[in-house]
Amino acid sequence: MSDNKINLMNMGPEELSDFCVSLGEKPFRATQLLKWIYQYGVTDFNEMSNIKKDLRAHLCEIACIRAPEIVSEQRSADGTIKWALNVGDNQLVETVLIPEEDRNTLCISTQVGCPVKCSFCRTGAQGFNRNLKVFEIIGQVFCAASRVGFVRGGQEKPISNIVMMGMGEPLLNLENVLKVTKILLSDYAFGLSKRRVTISTSGIAPVINKLAGRVDVALALSLHAPNDELRDILVPVNKKYKIKEVLDSVKNYLDKSNANCGRVTIEYVLLDHVNDSTDHAHELARLLKDVPCKINLIPFNSHDASDYKKPSNSRIDRFYKVLFDYGFTVVTRTTRGDDIAAACGQLAGQVKDRILKNQNAKIESITV
């Protein structure tokens, strides 16, 4: 019964090494296991030819390698693929592959739902159930790779970039996210370079401070408003961590990180007549004048849980131009996978909301 067995996919590289040592083995066995699992996609210990027979037999008895099961796959006309994965108890999380000319980006989820409840986000509208475990997060990468090819699977274009921009707030699931990040960066596993892994956050300032020095990957901050008054409404966690505190924590992180050439990516969802005027753009430029950053403008992706609208192209262009003229690097993100509800903020999965049932579990008590 695999249920009683230890799932090695639930371990970061260090834990896996400790596990091997606990079996009386040398720590390097962990590097062999990592390679088999994440570079070749092998989950049967008997196929791991460089691991001695008696150890393979012992591993078969006590351990397993198990990712969540894929329950559906949808392909968009633009090549985007969305998978729904079963994480038990009738709950689903979604992961999205965005193929481009020069890269294959996978957008992964870190929580079942999200407790931050940004007013424009489909995931937030569903409520929050729980943090995803390590195997449920890295398992998304494993499942996607099992469809499009592992690094050593002979495929021309394996997954090249990971963005934690799916369902959930990664920094409210810090320890698991750190273990996953180590698997993504490890040369024995996915071997991605640090600039190709992005953690996106709504701005949990104390956790951003904690990240500094513990991990070095690209950081994206979902800002969405140039002042606290507006951000309090759009990103409710702002009532707890104000813009200044968040930007200070980001600068702290950048002091110790060179993953993204010392810059943070500022994400700004453009909502028609809410945060998209040229005055907002000037205010944003003033706010960010001392923050090394590039700015991603994300025209709002509509969904059935929101009345916000995407601005007209001319409003988007005007906003862009103001920032560009100040000298910022600005990119307006093109919508991908809209026809299969796989674009930013459209991911829904299937969530049994625990916050609704438990009034004590408000965002204030969930953050560190």
Q: Do 347 and 163 meet the contact criterion of CB atoms below 8 Å apart?
A: no
Residue 93 host element (H or E): strand 92-100
Task: Out of 17, 222, 238, 257, point to the residue binding ligand SAH (CB under 6 A).
Answer: 222
Name residues contacting ligand SAH, limited to 234-273 (CB under 6 A): 267, 269
Task: Out of 169, 188, 265, 355, point to the residue binding ligand SAH (CB under 6 A).
Answer: 169
Task: Say if residue 280 carries a ligand binding annotation.
Answer: no
Which one, of 162, 222, 169, lies nearest residue 198 by Cα?
A: 162
Select 202 or 306, whichever has its Cβ closest to ligand SF4.
202
Least spacing, CB of residue 57 vs ligand SAH, in Å: 43
Which among ligand SF4, ligand SAH, none contacts residue 117 (Cβ within 5 to 8 A by kind)? Answer: ligand SF4
Which among ligand SAH, ligand SF4, none contacts residue 301 (Cβ within 5 to 8 A by kind)? Answer: ligand SAH
- Which of 25, 94, 136, 267 is catalytic? The answer is 94
Select 26 or 103, whichever has its Cβ closest to ligand SAH.
103
DSSP code for 235: S
**Could you list the residues that contact ligand SF4 (CB under 6 A)?**
114, 116-118, 121, 123-124, 168-169, 202, 222
Q: Do 177 and 169 meet the contact criterion of CB atoms below 8 Å apart?
A: no
Least spacing, CB of residue 169 vs ligand SAH, in Å: 4
Least spacing, CB of residue 72 vs ligand SAH, in Å: 21
Distance linking the first and last C-alpha atoms of the chain: 37
| One-letter amino acid for residue 206 of the chain | P
CB-nearest residue to ligand SAH? 345
Q: How many residues are given for the chain?
A: 368
Q: How far apart are CA 231 and CA 243, in angstroms?
A: 8
Which among ligand SF4, ligand SAH, none contacts residue 344 (Cβ within 5 to 8 A by kind)? Answer: ligand SAH
For position 120 contacting ligand SAH by CB under 6 A, the verdict is yes
Name residues contacting ligand SAH, limited to 182-211 (CB under 6 A): 200-202
Task: Out of 165, 211, 274, 291, point to the residue binding ligand SAH (CB under 6 A).
Answer: 165
Task: Say if residue 223 carries a ligand binding annotation.
Answer: yes
- Cα 181 → chain centroid: 10
- Give the ranges where the chain is alpha helix by DSSP (H): 13-22, 28-34, 53-62, 122-125, 134-148, 174-185, 205-211, 228-234, 243-256, 278-287, 313-325, 363-366
Least spacing, CB of residue 2 vs ligand SF4, in Å: 31
Select 8 or 121, whichever has its Cβ closest to ligand SF4.
121
For position 300 contacting ligand SAH by CB under 6 A, the verdict is yes
State the number of binding residues for ligand SAH (CB under 6 A): 17
DSSP one-letter string for 180-230: HHHHHH-TTTT---GGGEEEEES--HHHHHHHTTT---EEEEE---SSHHH
Q: How far apart are CA 320 and CA 329, in angstroms?
A: 10
Annotated active-site residue 20? The verdict is no
Annotated active-site residue 143? The verdict is no
Least spacing, CB of residue 161 vs ligand SAH, in Å: 14
Spatial CB neighbours of 169, under 8 Å, sequence gap ≥ 6: 110, 111, 114, 115, 116, 201, 202, 204
Spatial CB neighbours of 156, under 8 Å, sequence gap ≥ 6: 149
Which one, of 195, 84, 104, lies nearest residue 149 by Cα?
A: 104
Least spacing, CB of residue 112 vs ligand SF4, in Å: 11
Task: Say if residue 261 carries a ligand binding annotation.
Answer: no
Q: Which parts of this chain interact with ligand SAH (CB under 6 A)?
A: 118, 120-121, 165, 169, 200-202, 222, 267, 269, 298, 300-301, 303, 344-345
Active-site residue set? 94, 344
Q: Binding site: which residues?
A: 114, 118, 121, 168-169, 200, 222-224, 301
